[in-house]
Amino acid sequence: MTAFDAIVVGAGQAGPSLAVRLAEAGQSVALVERSLLGGTCVNRGCMPTKALVASARAAHVARRAADWGVAIGGAVTAEMPRITARAQKVATDARGNLQRWLAGVDRLRLVQGHARFTAPFTLQVGEEVLTAPRIFLNVGARAVVPPAFASVPHLTSSSILQITHLPRHLLVVGGSYIGLEFAQAYRRFGAEVTVLERGPKLLPREDDDVSAAIRSILEAEGIAVRCGAGEIAAAADAAGVTLRFGDGQSVNGSDLLVAVGRQPNTDELGLALAGIAVDGRGYITVDERLQTNVPGVYALGDCNGRGAFTHTAYNDFEIVAANLLDGEDRRVSDRVQGYALYIDPPLGRVGMTEAAARASGLDVQVATRPMSRVGRAVEKGETAGFMKVVAEAGSGRILGAAILGVEGDEAIHGLLDAMHAGVPQQVLRWAVPIHPTVSELIPTLLQGLR
């Protein structure tokens, strides 16, 4: 048995940074990883998928070149082996940088293998037994594949990053963030694409106007969208896969992407042997400081159900490190929730939707402004989408916002930062932003609150 001061299980976004902080504070640390360093973001998520999206945008802009007065001779085609290789290189380079960083840290030992609890504060990794008074779980999540699709050839958000062919017709089951990003990318590469969503609209977490605008953007590019599909049955055939809906209609495609959600990687950790509680969906239960029901054991990132993003996982690290090493008292509830959907144009989101704000009983004011009235969008020739902000009447507290439009994923930070600082809209509307930018319309947007 090998004893450490701390064991970190999982080298995703939170794990390596926490392991390094602990080691630099003088503790002996084991960082255990069963697969690839970097976790989902580096290997199967943000980095390779956004590299893919960048290639898709290049193809889209090239086809639209004439709109900007630029002539391109010949057809624009996607060379999928090169596109896939580029995305993989982005991930490989990031993984290599992480490997070199960790190798240079004293008192930090990287252990390759699958960790499983055999007793409280004791983990078996291969033939080795590790123990520590503090254990940090950063084990991530994986794609869910319902039984209806498991028996037919299918792709997930991980395996689709490995294909080097262009699907003739890509069927995407799941009309949410992951599915829509891949749908638009492969449509821009030249595939026929159909998106099928069981519920009544795309992106069920978003307001109806945001959802409808995103659907219009995708349909304008030739993506077929079918909402309200209900229960979907799948069958393999000579042409690929056929999906049948609850109303008897069907669609055939050459390739099937299943993007209906994710589940935490907690089912093979032996958590019960350590007395660590999970909820009904398998997420590790944590308090405001990310400690589990077992004092000394913490859960960070996707596996704790308190955020499903790289930036929330990293903030989990920041919270734990600040509390344990810096004498602070940081809590999960301190952070303002923000995220983005990386279709093109992107959706930047922060805080509450209008529907959620009204459902909470608050006295709500709302303002919207089409991107067609944003000078930067007009100049760039990209005017799809709109801005929206939700505030509380009287106090002026900004409750939430959405910017669906060019550079929306960056411009949203002006509102996110104001919400974090507790700045009311009456103050923010007097900011003097730089012209010409997308962000410069935020004060004008706020003046329209009604």
pLDDT one-digit tens code per residue, 38-65: 999 999 999 999 999 999 999 999 999 9
Q: How many CB atoms lie within 10 A of CB 239?
A: 11
Cβ atoms of 6 and 132 closer than 8 Å: yes
- pLDDT, mean of residues 360-384: 97
The arithmetic mean of pLDDT across residues 3-30, rounded, is 98
The angle formed by the CA atoms of residues 430, 433 and 435, to the nearest 5 degrees, is: 135
pLDDT, position 73: 87
Kindly report whether the global pTM for this prediction surpasses the value 0.75.
yes
The per-residue pLDDT for range 312-348, each reduced to its tens digit, is 999 999 999 999 999 999 999 999 999 999 999 999 9
CA dihedral 316→317→319→325, nearest 10 degrees, is 160
Q: Which domains does the chain have, with CATH numbers?
A: 2-142+263-334 (3.50.50.60), 147-260 (3.50.50.60), 338-447 (3.30.390.30)
pLDDT band for position 430 (cuts 50, 70, 90): very high
User: Which run of H or E residues covers position 347?
Assistant: strand 347-351
Please report the pLDDT score of residue 367 as a whole number. 98
Task: State both tokens at 196.
Answer: 């099928």
The average pLDDT across 18-38 equals 97
Instruction: Give the sheet arrangement for strand 240-244, strand by strand.
Output: 233-237, 240-244, 250-253
The percent of residues above 70 in pLDDT, for the chain, comes to: 100
Residue environment code for 192-216, b if the CB has 16+ CB neighbours within 10 A, otherwise e? bbbbbbbeebbbeebbebbbebbbe
Tokens of 280: 């009904």
- CA–CA distance, 354 with 352 (Å, rounded to integer): 6
- CA-based R_g, the chain, Å: 23
Instruction: Note whether 243 and 233 are within 8 A (CB).
Output: yes
Q: Is the distance from CB of 411 to CB of 348 less than 8 angstroms?
A: yes
* 3-state secondary structure at position 244: strand
CA 31 – CA 234 distance, rounded (Å): 41
Which residues, listed in sequence order, are joined to residue 112 by a DSSP beta bridge? Answer: 33
Percent with pLDDT over 90 in the chain: 98
- The set of catalytic residues is 435
